[in-house]
A and B are shown apart, each in its own frame.
Chain A
Amino acid sequence: MNRREALFSLGTIAASLAVAPSLRATELNDVPEHTQLNADHLPRPAVRTGGFLVLTATEQKTLGAVYDRLLPADEHGPSATEAGCLVFIDSQLAGTYGAGKALYLDGPIRPDNERMLMGSPQFLATPLARYRTGLAALEAYAQKVHGKAFAQLSAEQIDAFLTELEAGRLSLGQDIDSKGFFELLLQNVREGYLADPLYGGNRNMAGWKMIGFPGARYDYRPYIDRRGENLRLLPVSLIPAD
């Protein structure tokens, strides 16, 4: 339980005892003197060993097959899974992102109305729930159409599938907006490939090397006047390279 939850539950206890709760607005006078990084502000590195937190073995295989067609290994760098994108998304889905903590998930929702207004499908489901439902539907689709596991489909079959999914021409059942699911997969695999290695993906900064992004450097004053030059800066990450 973190400090915030602890304070919330204290509030609940106070209310249940029918005691008038006292006012404890956090009052600041003068500049706070502690200058170390706030504990709740330190980044939490993804766990790279010791197994997955939320994705099941089947989900890992299905998702890995999709991710590695979205970002295959080639002369520009490793595949998504080689770069750690599965570790990345597992960690993300296990945390506040997967739980949709920032999202407004209150109903009612009229999906057609919201899609029309917002220009894209809207959801009450969390990202983790959408992955669960979507990956199950992918597996069911492969079994139904090809009679085998999604992860055993050929690269050509998966590419054809993703092309249809992206175009919104493919139905995965009533519960799933197929184009919306494609966009979620593409966004997350790109994140895994291009975010700081801190989060478990972008191993050896392969994604950054692909495009020439120097990473977490923080000072380009020595370089700004070298306009148009190939600076060949080695990338730097927030944690040591593995």
Chain B
Amino acid sequence: MSNARARADVVICGLGWAGSVMAEELTRAGLNVVAIERGAWRDTSTDFPPAVDADELRWTTRREMLQPMSVETTTFRNRLDQQAAPVRSWSAFQYGWNVGGAGAHWAGMSWRFTPWDFQVATQTRERYGAAKMKGLQLQDWGVTYDDMAPYYDRFERIAGTSGIAGNINGKIMPGGNPFEGPRSREYPTPPLKDTHWMRTFRDASTRTGHHPFTIPAGNISQSFVNPLGVTMGPCTYCGFCDFHGCGNFSKSSPQACILPALMRRPNFTLLTETEVLHAVKHDDGKTVKGVKFITKEGVEGFQPADVVCITAYQMDNVRLMLLSKVGEQYDPVTGRGTIGRNYNYQTCSTVTGFFDDNYMNPFIGGGALAVQIDDFNGDNFDHADLDFIGGAGIMGYSTNGRPIQNADTVRPGTRRWGSEWKAAYARDYQQSGGIFCQGTSMPVREAYLDLDPTYKDRHGQPLLRLTFDWNRNDTKMLDYVTDRAVRIMKEAGGQDIIVENQGEHSWNPYKQHSSHTIGGAVMGADPTTSAVNPFLQSWDAHNLFVVGASAFPNNGGYNPTITVGALAIRAARAIHETYFKNPGALVKG
């Protein structure tokens, strides 16, 4: 093939969190790694220092760190019988557009999933009976929380995560989350401080008999040297975090945690502003021989490699599998095929209250600055008499007080313009408090991904098509948890309460508060229902690994990043410890 580069041991497609931690593992093991990233090189001191970072219009409103829809977008429909349309403008989707991927602009909420999340099928059947699973396409992940725990720990050490443990080796710790899975030790750095609203929420949820704790944060509370020798600085609560880079080296990101070490390794090469078009299969179709890519000048090339790791955003992982023609497209009618199966979202609501004569000082914020209760998350409460499974975290958050973004957070019934709005915003900016319910999402047969028959990207490749709407299990769950959140808001003293329950209307990408998309190339022990095995190795091409939230068969009531990172480290270890010694399937299907 013309324009072929020199062979690499491993090619990484997309240098976000997953690609970065994998490249770090693989190069440290001595492998020769080439990473290909379609975004540009972006670094703290040159691209988002404090001199330019505190700019809401540029980063939050115009979203300059995000991948523009003109580069690539998704098409969407609720149901099979509809004609999908492209997402033309900024929406809930927040794909990365730089080295570091979405890991540079994320908020930093650094959760482990609960043990239940990895085994929803088995545990639901055992605790409530198979009838409870009716209508849901539940399947276990093929790994347990105990399998994941060491990799969670490793990722948290790299990220410098701040928090307070709730369960160390089975012992419940005061102040932490008593519902979390057991961890082997405390967080790398202590929890962040409470804002006025967080303290108000913490006190109210204590009075209601629940168990508030400071959430684990990738906005770290004090300086920290991670195991790669990279130094991070303390979070300054600047309030320009999600959608923004971090000028303080305090938000966990590939830039702040990994790239300074990784880039200096002689066996690592990064191609920037270069987009992987698809993997290329060997003639026998059983393995891949590398990836085809295109540079920003429009020149196509080929990167041969013994192992290909697809580490793009979840949506692009699925799209690259389909464009590479590895595995069979999932069919929502017959249930056959695995690529595109079990697409899902994050079931969310918000509850906003107003507090007379208060100074919340909402500008004191961090992307992961919040207090949460997990009493109604996952399977932490008895569902025997409820007609759903799953739950949501209930979080009192202080993420930001950015004035454009919050301009509609005024007491209900206020006209959105004129002197009426000005007076209301002048008063309510300091007086509102928000609760976010971030819930589980269970897979159903009808929700899936495939290639759009009509719309193309800038290179003429088909866009990914999303077919999705809320399912009854998840909307019932959300109604239940949102009601609990309203009770806490009332206990806290919130008045004029506004409830935005996302499940009350058909899903569309412009209405959502969460960017968390999952599934489509899910992991599992059964090759007929999963695209990749428990090491994220393709069942259909054993030298191809697909790493990201695309592997989640169902969504936990948490942000996905730490689970993605832990899965990536686990996959990379399997590649250099086992696969390279004896190339072939790591697990029997």
Q: Show the binding face of A for B, using Cβ within 8 Å.
A: 4, 7-8, 10-11, 20-32, 34-38, 41-43, 69-72, 74, 76-77, 97, 101-106, 108-110, 113-114, 117-120, 122-123, 159, 162, 166, 186, 190-191, 194-196, 198-199, 207-208, 210-221, 223-225, 227-231, 238
Q: How far is the CA of A52 from the CA of B501 in the complex (A)?
A: 44
Contacts A31-B259, A72-B419, A76-B423 known; A104 to B86 CB distance under 8 Å? yes
Q: Is B404 an interface residue (CB 8 A)?
A: yes
CB-based closest 4 A-B pairs:
A216-B54, A102-B68, A195-B57, A211-B429
Q: How far is the CA of A228 from the CA of B198 in the complex (A)?
A: 11
* Contact call A23/B295, Cβ cutoff below 8 A: yes
* Contact call A190/B407, Cβ cutoff below 8 A: yes
Chain A contacts of B55 at CB under 8 A?
A: 43, 196, 198, 216, 238
| Distance (whole angstroms) from the CB of A160 to the closest CB of chain B | 12
Q: How far is the CA of A114 from the CA of B47 in the complex (A)?
A: 36
Chain A contacts of B270 at CB under 8 A?
A: 27-29
* Contact call B455/A122, Cβ cutoff below 8 A: no
Kindly report which residue of chain B lies nearest to residue A34, judged by CB atoms: B46
* Contact call B296/A7, Cβ cutoff below 8 A: yes
Kindly report which residue of chain B lies nearest to residue A198, judged by CB atoms: B55
Contacts A105-B88, A123-B88 known; A220 to B196 CB distance under 8 Å? no
| Among listed B109-117, B440-448, B504-512, interface-contacting one | B504-512
Chain B contacts of A190 at CB under 8 A?
A: 404, 407
Kindly report which residue of chain B lies nearest to residue A201, judged by CB atoms: B57
Q: Is B454 an interface residue (CB 8 A)?
A: yes
* Contact call B237/A104, Cβ cutoff below 8 A: no
Q: How far is the CA of A221 from the CA of B220 in the complex (A)?
A: 13
* Contact call A220/B41, Cβ cutoff below 8 A: no
Contacts A43-B55, A230-B359 known; A113 to B83 CB distance under 8 Å? yes
Chain B stretch 24-77: residues in CB contact (< 8 A) with chain A: 36, 41, 43, 45-47, 49-58, 61-63, 68-70, 73, 76-77
* Contact call A220/B422, Cβ cutoff below 8 A: no
| Distance (whole angstroms) from the CB of A39 to the closest CB of chain B | 10
Q: How far is the CA of A72 from the CA of B419 in the complex (A)?
A: 6
Q: Is B89 an interface residue (CB 8 A)?
A: yes
| Among listed B297-305, B337-345, B486-494, B576-584, interface-contacting one | B297-305
Interface centre among B68, B193, B297, B429 (most CB of A within 10 A): B297
Contacts A117-B82, A186-B417, A210-B422 known; A238 to B429 CB distance under 8 Å? no
Chain A contacts of B240 at CB under 8 A?
A: 218
Secondary structure type dominating chain B contacts: loop
Q: Is B358 an interface residue (CB 8 A)?
A: yes
B70's contact among A20, A31, A105, by CB below 8 Å, is which? A105
Q: Is B461 an interface residue (CB 8 A)?
A: no
Interface centre among A22, A166, A211 (most CB of B within 10 A): A211
Q: Is B87 an interface residue (CB 8 A)?
A: yes
Q: Show the binding face of B for A, using Cβ within 8 Å.
A: 2-3, 5, 36, 41, 43, 45-47, 49-58, 61-63, 68-70, 73, 76-78, 82-90, 193-196, 199, 234, 236-240, 247-248, 259-260, 263-264, 266, 268-274, 293, 295-299, 301, 358-361, 363-364, 401, 403-404, 407, 416-419, 421-423, 425-426, 429-430, 454-456, 505-506, 508-511
Q: How far is the CA of A94 from the CA of B401 in the complex (A)?
A: 29
* Contact call B61/A195, Cβ cutoff below 8 A: yes
A28's contact among B78, B84, B272, B423, by CB below 8 Å, is which? B272
Chain A contacts of B237 at CB under 8 A?
A: 219-221, 224
* Contact call B417/A71, Cβ cutoff below 8 A: yes
Supplied contacts A102-B69, A217-B238, 8 more A-B pairs, CB within 8 Å: A43-B52, A104-B70, A113-B85, A194-B407, A199-B57, A211-B429, A227-B195, A229-B361
* Contact call A122/B422, Cβ cutoff below 8 A: no
Contacts A43-B52, A218-B238 known; A97 to B62 CB distance under 8 Å? yes
Chain B contacts of A69 at CB under 8 A?
A: 417-418
Contacts A103-B69, A211-B425 known; A118 to B510 CB distance under 8 Å? yes
* Contact call B193/A224, Cβ cutoff below 8 A: yes
| Distance (whole angstroms) from the CB of B401 to the closest CB of chain A | 6
Contacts A207-B403, A218-B238, A227-B194 known; A37 to B47 CB distance under 8 Å? yes
Kindly report which residue of chain A lies nearest to residue B87, judged by CB atoms: A104
* Contact call A38/B46, Cβ cutoff below 8 A: yes
